[in-house]
Structure 1
């Protein structure tokens, strides 16, 4: 069971790094390019691995702060909602969108690290 937990943690951390990487990919896109669908896919990876870790907690004797996880989930849902809105519409991504998305990712990482 410990291997499964570690695998989920690995994928969750990889997802955070991929979201920051997606910001760099989006910055290289032309100004009139739509939002890269990778934002949505990686946000889904984050959500699935985070929920799996939380559901696996009783089996691994891990304890998680429910308030912290709720806020992190809410921030991730905002990221996913913004990504979904602009991926579906296929309109040029506004200039404020990629920095806002990566800012929300950084906030989520900060909550994960500094909120004990």
Structure 2
């Protein structure tokens, strides 16, 4: 196994952990009225965007195929998830209404998973 393969696999593992932070937090707190763990969701969203971009870069460095249309859709969704997580976190710190942004981030993260798995 080449060193870039190891880097790619490590990035993929961290990418999946970021996904778990977003989606896991979302599913556990989906029915909550308040007290949302927005910090966990924000950290997961940042992790997703950073490792996703790094994964594309490593794949291109290894001359592996990249579906640019799929990556553009996934990046767009990931950025919207990140923005929603930032809004939710900011609202939580101010004592504002967190639930809409929290649910938007979690729901769109699930959509992003479906795009990743179903778009071949």
TM band (smaller chain)? 0.7 to 0.9
The answer for unaligned runs of 5 or more in structure 2 is none
User: Structure 1 length normalisation: TM-score?
Assistant: 0.84
Contact 2:25–2:37 (CA under 8 A) maintained in structure 1: no
Correspondence for 1:85 among 87, 93, 100: 87
1:16 paired residue number: 19
Q: Larger RCO: Structure 1 or Structure 2 (Cα < 8 Å, ≥ 6 residues apart)? A: 1
Contact 1:16–1:105 (CA under 8 A) maintained in structure 2: yes
Distance 1:67 1:80 in 2: 20
Following TM superposition, by how much is the alpha carbon of 1:25 offset from its aligned partner in structure 2, in angstroms? 4.5
- Which aligned pairs between 1:28-107 and structure 2 lie closer than 5 A? 31-33=33-35, 36-89=38-91, 90=93, 91-94=96-99, 96-107=100-111
The answer for unaligned runs of 5 or more in structure 1 is none
